[in-house]
Structure 1
Amino acid sequence: MTPLTLYPALARAEAVTWALLLLGMVLKYVTRTTELGVSVFGLAHGVVFLAYVLVTVLVWVDQRWSRRLGLLALAAAIPPFATVGVERLVTRREGLANRWRLGPGGEAPGHVGEHVLARALARPVVATVVGGALVLLATAALLVVGPPAPPGSGA
C-alpha cells in the first residue's frame, strides 16, 4: 500500500465507523431499542480511530506534511466525517504520493522519526503486525479504563 491508497482508506473507514456509532447511539438513546450498536460500533470506531491516528502520523512524516496539515488531519478524527474532508483536501493538494518517500530505494532519512519509519517500510509485514499490535494494546488499555460517562450523568 502507498500513502495514496492507505490514508484515504483509513479516512473513509473512520467516517464509516462514525456513522455506525451514531446509528448505535440513536438506537440506544433515541429509540431505546438496544445498546448493542454502541457496544459493537463503538469498539469498531475506537480501533479504526487509533489506526487512523497511527497512519496519519506515518504519512505526515513520510510525505513531509506541514505541522498545520498534520495537526489538522489528526484533529479531523474527532468530529464525525471530518476525515473525509481532510482526505479530499490532501489529495487535491497532492499531499499524498503513490510511493513511500522513505521506502526502499527512496530518500535517506534525516531525523529519528524518519529513521524509524524507513526501517518499518523496509519490512512492511513486520511493521503491519507491530502497528496492529500497538492499536490493539491501546484499545485494550482504553477498555480497561472504561467508557466515557454517559451524557447527563454529571460524571
Structure 2
Amino acid sequence: MKPQKLYRIVADIEAVTWALLILGMLFKYAFDVTEVGVKIAGPVHGLAFITFVVVTALVWTNNRWSVGRGLLGLLSAVIPFCTIPFERSAARNGDLDGGWRQDNPLLATLTGRPKMTFGVLAGIIIVIFVVMMFIGGPFS
C-alpha cells in the first residue's frame, strides 16, 4: 500500500473516531443519558490517534516533509476532524506522492517486509495504547 492510500485511510478513521467520541460525550455530559459511548469511543479514538501519529511520523520521514509540514500533520490529530483536510491538502500539494523510499535502510527494511512491519508497528501502537490506558484518559 502506497503512503498516500495508507495516510488517507488512517486520517479518515481518526476523524470518524472523533465523531464517535464527541457523540458519546454529548450523551454523557449534555443529555446525562449514559457514559457507555465515552467508555467505548474513548479508547477506540485513542488507538486511532496513536496510529495516526505513528503513520504521520513514518510518512513524514518517507516523503521528506519539512518540519513545519510534519508538525502540522501531528497537530491535525488534536483538533477534531482536521486530519481529513490536512491529508487532502497534503495530497493536493504532492506531499504524499510516490511509493516507499528504498534509499533509507530503515524504510527499505520496513517496506520490504510488509507483514513484519505491520506486526512491529501494531506492537508499538498496542504498547503505547496499553500504557496510556494504564495512566488513564485525559479527563479521568
TM-score, scaled relative to structure 1: 0.87
Check the 8 A contact 2:100/2:107 in 1, yes or no.
no
Structure 1 position 98, deviation (Å): 4.2
SS at match of 1:94: coil
Amino acid paired to 1:125: K
Question: Residues of 2 paired with 1:64 and 1:11: CA distance?
Answer: 19
Q: Moved runs in structure 1, 4+ residues, more than 3 A?
A: none
Match of 1:127 in 2: 117
Match of 1:82 in 2: 82
Match of 2:135 in 1: 145
SS at match of 1:101: coil
1:11-26 correspondence runs (5 A) = 11-26=11-26
Match of 2:64 in 1: 64
- Equivalent pairs counted in the alignment come to 140
Question: Residues of 1 paired with 2:106 and 2:121: CA distance?
Answer: 13
Q: CA RMSD in A?
A: 1.1
Structure 1 position 148, deviation (Å): 2.4
Structure 1 position 101, deviation (Å): 2.1
In structure 2, runs of 5+ residues without a counterpart are none
1:116 aligns with 2:106: yes
Amino acid paired to 2:137: P
Amino acid paired to 2:124: L
Task: Specify the structure having the higher radius of gyration (Cα).
Answer: 1
Query: Which structure is richer in relative contact order (CA contacts within 8 A, separation 6 or more)?
Result: 2
Match of 1:153 in 2: none
State percent identity of aligned pairs.
Answer: 40
